Amino acid sequence: MTVRVLLVDDQALFREALAVLLGVHADIDVVGEAGDGAEALTRVAAEAPDVVLMDLRMPVLDGITATRRLRVEHPGVRVIALTTFDDDEDVFAALRAGAVGYLLKDVSSARLVEAVLAAARGESVLQPSVAAKVVARIAALPPEPIASRPQPLVVPLSDRELEVVRLLADGRSNREIAAALFLAEGTVKNHVTNVLGKLGARDRTQAALRARALGLLA
C-alpha cells in the first residue's frame, strides 16, 4: 500500500528537496505541501494523507498547535515532527500534542523513509537523542507504589528479544538493530512484533517505557 505524505515546512526549498527525495520511493506518494500549520490543516482535509512531516517553528500557526488540532480533527493521521531543534521543551510539547515521531532535519534519507513507513504502520519513531530524553524523563519520575507496579510478564522475553528491546529503547531502527545483532531485517521485525505482544504495547515507544518499568533495560 502506498503511504500518502503531506510536507509542512515554511522553507519552500526544503519542501521541494524533501518531495524529490521521498518521491523516488514507489511506496510513498507526496500528496501535497504546506508552508504553515494553518495551511496544513486545510491540506490534510483536502488530501487525506496517512503521514504528515511537520516542522515545529512556523509563522501563522506553529507545528505543535497544528499537531494538537490534527489529533482532534483527523485522529487517523500520523504526525512526525521534523525539525532542527531537539531541546526538551519542543520534544515533549510535540509528543504531548500527539506527534508519533520526532526527527531532526539532519536525519539520513534512508532513516526518514523508514520512519514514514513505520509511522504509517502505527509505530512510533524517535531520533536516538530524543528517545534518550524520553527514557531519562521516565527514569526521573518518582517510583510508583508497589501495589500499582506492572506485574511480571506472563510470557517472558527471550534473550534475543531482550537484546532487541534494549536497542529499540535506544531509538534504533529495525535496520540498525539488524546490523548490531547480525540478523536479517525481517527477523528483527518479527522479534519486535513479539516484543510488542508480550509487553502489551501498541508501539515501540510504549514498549520501551514498559520494558523500563519492568526493569528489563538494566
pTM for the predicted model, two decimal places:
0.69
> For position 151, what pLDDT does the model report?
45
Short-list 187, 82, 92, 74, CA closest to 134: 92
> For position 146, what pLDDT does the model report?
45
pLDDT per residue rounded down to tens, the chain (218 residues): 799 999 999 999 999 999 999 989 999 999 999 999 999 999 999 999 999 999 999 999 999 999 999 999 998 999 999 999 878 888 888 988 889 889 999 988 988 998 999 889 888 788 877 777 776 776 666 655 544 444 456 678 888 888 999 998 888 888 889 999 999 988 998 888 888 888 878 888 888 888 888 888 86
Which structural domains are found in the chain, ordered by start? Answer: 3-136 (3.40.50.2300), 145-213 (1.10.10.10)
> For position 144, what pLDDT does the model report?
52
Q: Could you give the C-alpha distances from 76 to 49, 69, 111, in angstroms and in order?
A: 9, 12, 23
> For position 147, what pLDDT does the model report?
45
Q: Which H/E stretch holds residue 174?
A: helix 174-181
Short-list 12, 209, 192, CA closest to 95: 209
Short-list 54, 42, 48, CA closest to 101: 54
> For position 145, what pLDDT does the model report?
54
